[in-house]
Amino acid sequence: MDATAWHWHNATDQEFHRVSTISLEHRAHVIVLGNEKGGSGKSTAAMHVIVGLLRDGYQVGAIDLDARQATLSNYLVSRAKYAESHHMHLPQPRTLSVHRVDNDSRSVAETAERTAFEAAISELSRDCDVIVIDCPGSDTFLSRLGHSYADTLITPINDSFVDFAMLAKVDPDKLDVIHPSVYSEMVWQARKQRFSRDRGKFDWIVMRNRLGATIARNRRDVGTTLEALAKRIGFRTLTGFGERVIFRELYLQGLTLMDLRDASLGISLSMSHVAARAEVRALLSAIRLPAPRFTLTSPPAAIGKLL
């Protein structure tokens, strides 16, 4: 019996626990973008987080759990095509999609989806520091599973009580939170699943999106009610992205404002771009990430021209 086999053969429960904890530490940090409310900005935020982290020198993996709509996958395909057709270097994540399985038996479909999802996580964990998962704007088995793997959950919400309804039921007169609603309940279940699987906890950030598109009073009321709910069900709030054309106008090219300083794009930075960049940076710094792994190639951020 060789030394390693002897070690495993004679390991106490405590040692096994230590070894399994160590192997968990090697799993990539998982960032999930989720909200059952459609159109709240999950894919937009996912793309900006991915490109921001790539430019900070992280090895990033991306999983699109909304393979039917495929906003994130298409965005990334366009990015690769743009880089190729313009003969330029654009940092790219490793991308995998996990598809919904159609089967008469729900348990057969869910087992197949779980197997594909876990294979994607372990495949990307091999060489990625961070995995960004974009969820659909609906309640699906894959979305629940994705949430239960989060280290950081980011929930963008548009600044309105229509979006707020997915998080909590609110008293229309006093604007008090009456009780948490469907999406908050789902996150609670995902937290329990995560804890029972590996004793892990996740950090939940609710990010307000498209600020500026609503009137000031509504914005203030949503903000106050959100802070009250944050304390009650355990999330942090972030003043997220403003309503800005730059967050959507580069979609067809597969680019983001984090690519703008790349000289070959020929787009000059406006004040709005600078403000948008600060919003993305605030989101990135709110995510409690480990330092990027050492890479032999210099991160693009070090080249100088890039954001």
Ligand X SMILES: Nc1ncnc2c1ncn2[C@@H]1O[C@H](COP(=O)(O)OP(=O)(O)OP(=O)(O)O)[C@@H](O)[C@H]1O
Reading the block at residue 258, the tokens are 């984090």
Q: How far is the CB of 165 from Mg ion (least distance, A)?
A: 19
Q: Between 57 and 206, name the residue whose CB sits nearer to ligand X.
A: 206
- Does residue 243 bind ligand X (CB under 6 A)? yes
Q: Are 163 and 223 in contact (CB under 8 A)?
A: no
**Angle, CA 243 vertex, CA 307 and CA 218 arms, to 5°:** 140
Contact map string, positions 121 to 160, toward ligand X, x by CB under 6 A: ---------------xx-----------------------
**Residue 75 in the binding site for ligand X (CB under 6 A):** no
Binding partner at 40 among Mg ion, ligand X, none, C-beta below 5 to 8 Å by kind: ligand X
Identify the residue among 179, 248, 288, 293 touching ligand X (CB under 6 A). 248
Asked whether position 42 contacts ligand X by CB under 6 A, the answer is: yes
Of 129 and 131, which has the nearer Cβ to ligand X? 131
Q: Which stretch binds ligand X (CB under 6 A): 50-58, 64-72, 123-131, 181-189?
A: 64-72
Q: By beta-carbon distance, which residue lies closest to Mg ion?
A: 43
Q: Of all residues in this chain, which one has the CB nearest to ligand X in the complex?
A: 137
Give the one residue of 247, 255, 260, 307 binding ligand X; rule: CB under 6 A. 247
Q: How many residues bind ligand X (CB under 6 A)?
A: 19
Query: In the sheet that 152-158 helps form, which strands lie side by side, from edge to edge?
Result: 94-97, 60-64, 130-134, 29-33, 152-158, 203-209, 236-239
- In the list Mg ion, ligand X, none, the entry touching 38 (Cβ below 5 to 8 angstroms by class) is ligand X
Chain residues in the site for Mg ion (CB under 5 A): 42-43, 71
Q: Which of ligand X, Mg ion, none does residue 164 bind (CB under 5 to 8 Å by kind)?
A: none
97 binds ligand X (CB under 6 A): no
SS (H, E, C) 238-280: EECCECCHHHCCCHHHCCCHHHCCCHHHCCCCCHHHHHHHHHH
The CA-to-CA distance between both ends of the chain, in Å, stands at 54
Q: Which of 69, 74, 160, 193 binds ligand X (CB under 6 A)?
A: 69
By CB under 6 A, is residue 290 in contact with ligand X? no
Token readout for 224 is 């106050």
The helix, strand and coil proportions of the chain, stated in percent and rounded to the nearest 5, come to: 50, 15, 35
Radius of gyration of the chain (CA): 21
208, interface contact from Mg ion, ligand X, none, CB < 5-8 Å by kind: none
Confirm if 27 and 150 have CB atoms less than 8 A apart. Answer: no
Q: What angle do CA 31, 182, 185 make, to 5 degrees?
A: 65
Closest alpha carbon to 96 in 68, 116, 113: 116
**∠ CA(142), CA(93), CA(81), 5° rounding?**
110
130: CB partners within 8 A, 6+ apart: 28, 29, 30, 31, 53, 58, 59, 60, 61, 289
Residue 248 binding: pick among ligand X, Mg ion, none (C-beta 5-8 Å cut-off by kind): ligand X
Applying CB under 6 A, the residues found at the interface with ligand X are 38-44, 66, 69, 71, 136-137, 209-210, 241, 243-244, 247-248
